[in-house]
Structure 1
């Protein structure tokens, strides 16, 4: 077995590690990069008789502090195993220098459909698109219902007000990763800081919940696994709903970049997604406008960081393509529009 051509993985050492943690496989393992994410790198591991697993590691190159914490992701997924939240099972985690120079997480391969390309979304029937769209807020409701004490996640993150934490963190990330000056984003940051709503509860927050980060049933469209928990924290549950809406362009809107799947016929609009969530949870929708704007602002900051990493280390580029200045500017413009309508 050779590691030649496998970026970021010592395949021989990983194969030995699988044996030590009791993962049985047959023949030679193959490793193929999968997914469109440009943060933690994901690989499909296969043996010669059809066994499949998923391996995760941080991206290549320089990382900002606290970003891409694979150990934390492993802890969260392990804690959620016996809850109603659909997640892949964790088989192992290692930081052993004999295996790897970065943390590695080995997970179950979950069967199903990932709607991560326009060609996949376009091939779905309108009925299937609707089923998938309506399953997203119901899955968020399950995440936000997790018992923090029972799962041992009560100390996962700070219990201080979440909006202020998010604004401080992502404004700092912007300063470290921006490729240019963007006065409209700086002004939006100021408006958000001045308009923070009171926080009434503390729940588990996924932090990056959207269509590309779930696996759905090929039979029903229901979410069968929520993925990419690296930004998971404790905070205001409406932050996740605002983030989901930030990734959900409607017909005629341009901030969806190369993946405006939600503009296709059948997918519910943002108002219906929000209504399903509030019907499911009974929460007050009053602060949703703030969290929607913050979601768009945060997506813009993340996209700028992805653009910066891809420029600094070309091997971090993924099949989804790299965000463009035009898309980031469109996100900020949409956020400013919604902020004005929400009187932020």
Structure 2
């Protein structure tokens, strides 16, 4: 999960303790409070009370327009996944009636592979290989959860039909940024046409993570098992096969130099063996994931022209966009 760097003293721990008392949680002084670092979107603070460890998740101190609603959605998702077998952080308690919204969850006993591998995983190629299959298995378990656990969540009707117009509109919106010359992305319009012409005619709605890749997983210390899928901000009810496409589109991540992972085709075969969904058009989902992610990353490139993002980061992400569209082209058939 992403977290904002923050001085813990800025959090009212006394008020938090009073609220926890009202939730019937173990009483005592809040101890060992420290920020959980790693991003900019939300605040996360680790602490202990009466010997019990917790993670507090709340919006940034300078709240963004949708910060509170995002956390309301996350609490619904984590609550709905309880008891399903999907590896996810366990929700302890949540305050959603007033703002700022926040919730407590149990810390995950695991590690994020984007920050490196522990010795056991680093030294055992069989564990590294299995990590990829376990990532796919965890995703398949999410795809099997009944979406009725989240009534009224998302808009599955017309989900696939909305994708290309939605992201082309997003790309066009970048033109309002000063200095951005427009997208210089080979295969852009060709890919958009291919997606519209080859769009699956139907799908079975399910719960989607929305940003499923290795850096949003925590693995168990004792083996290849996924301890938790994290960062549920983009979750919705849609077509879970797009999550599989997203995993394949980002595989392997250039940020995660992990040797010995399975090939993308092995991920697809693993998912297929664990799911009864129609996988005959999986190439469409991979191309769609490349298309969407490439457009999202191009936004930082556009903001860099307007002085709203570092130029080197914008250039790097633009190259990633080009790589994604090249991958999309290779998957078109």
When residues 37 and 291 of structure 1 are mapped into structure 2, their CA distance, relative to the original with a 3 A threshold, is farther
Among 97, 102, 105, the residue aligned to 1:104: 102
Displacement of 1:341? 2.8
Is 1:158 the counterpart of 2:160? The answer is no
Give the CA deviation at 1:112. 2.0
CA apart distance, 1:240: 0.5
Pairing of 1:49-88 with structure 2 (within 5 A): 50-59=51-60, 63=64, 69-88=70-89
User: In the alignment, is the contact (CA less than 8 A) between 1:306 and 1:322 conserved in 2?
Assistant: no
C-alpha offsets along residues 108-130 of structure 1, whole Å, 9 cap, x if unaligned?
A: 11212222214659845322211
Give 4+ residue runs of structure 1 displaced > 6 Å after superposition: 306-312
The match for 1:220 among 209, 218, 223 is 223
Unaligned runs of 5+ in 1: 250-255
How far the C-alpha of 1:139 sits from its partner, in A, is: 0.8
Q: CA offset at residue 241 of structure 1?
A: 0.3
1:270 to 227, 248, 264: 264
1:143 maps to 142
Aligned length: 321
SS of structure 1 residue aligned to 2:112: coil
1:35 CA displacement: 4.9
Indicate the RMSD between aligned Cα atoms, in angstroms: 3.6
| Rounded Cα–Cα distance in structure 2 between residues aligned with 1:331 and 1:48 | 44
Counterpart mapping for 1:231-250 below 5 A = 231-249=234-252
Aligned-partner Cα distance in 2 for 1:128–1:307:
37
Q: Distance in 2 between matches of 1:52 and 1:322?
A: 40
Shift of 1:242: 0.7
**TM-superposed deviation, 1:184:** 1.5
Aligned counterparts, 1:126-205, within 5 A:
126-149=125-148, 151=149, 153-174=150-171, 180=180, 181-184=182-185, 187=189, 188-189=191-192, 191-205=194-208
Given candidates 311, 318, 325, the residue that maps to 1:336 is 325
Task: Classify 1:165/1:77 alpha carbon distance in 2 versus 1 (closer, same or farther; 3 Å).
Answer: farther
2:12 to 10, 13, 19: 10
User: 1:84 and 1:47, CA in 2 relative to 1: closer, same or farther beyond 3 A?
Assistant: closer
> Per the alignment, do residues 260 and 88 of structure 1 end up closer, same or farther by CA in structure 2, a change over 3 Å counting?
closer
Query: In structure 2, how many angstroms separate the alpha carbons of the residues matched to 1:323 and 1:64?
Result: 27
If asked which structure has higher relative contact order (CA below 8 Å, sep 6+), I would say 1
Preserved CA contact (<8 Å) 1:77 1:87: yes
The separation in 1 between residues aligned to 2:87 and 2:328, in whole angstroms, is 33
Deviations 1:94-113 (A, max 9, x none): 2465xxx4221211112122
The 8 Å contact of residues 199 and 236 in structure 1, kept in 2 or not, is answered as no
Whether the 8 Å CA contact 1:162–1:236 is kept in 2: the answer is yes
Which residues of 2 match residues 300-319 of structure 1 at below 5 A?
300-303=294-297
* Higher mean C-alpha displacement, 113-122 vs 238-247: 113-122
Please state whether the residue corresponding to 1:184 is helix, strand or coil.
Answer: coil
Give the superposition deviation at 1:66: 8.4
Deviates more, 1:265-274 or 1:278-287: 278-287
Q: Shift of the alpha carbon at 1:86?
A: 1.7
Change (3 A) 1:96 1:145: closer
Aligned counterparts of 2:78 and 2:311: Cα–Cα separation in 1: 28
Mark the runs of 5 or more structure 2 residues left unpaired by the alignment: 1-5
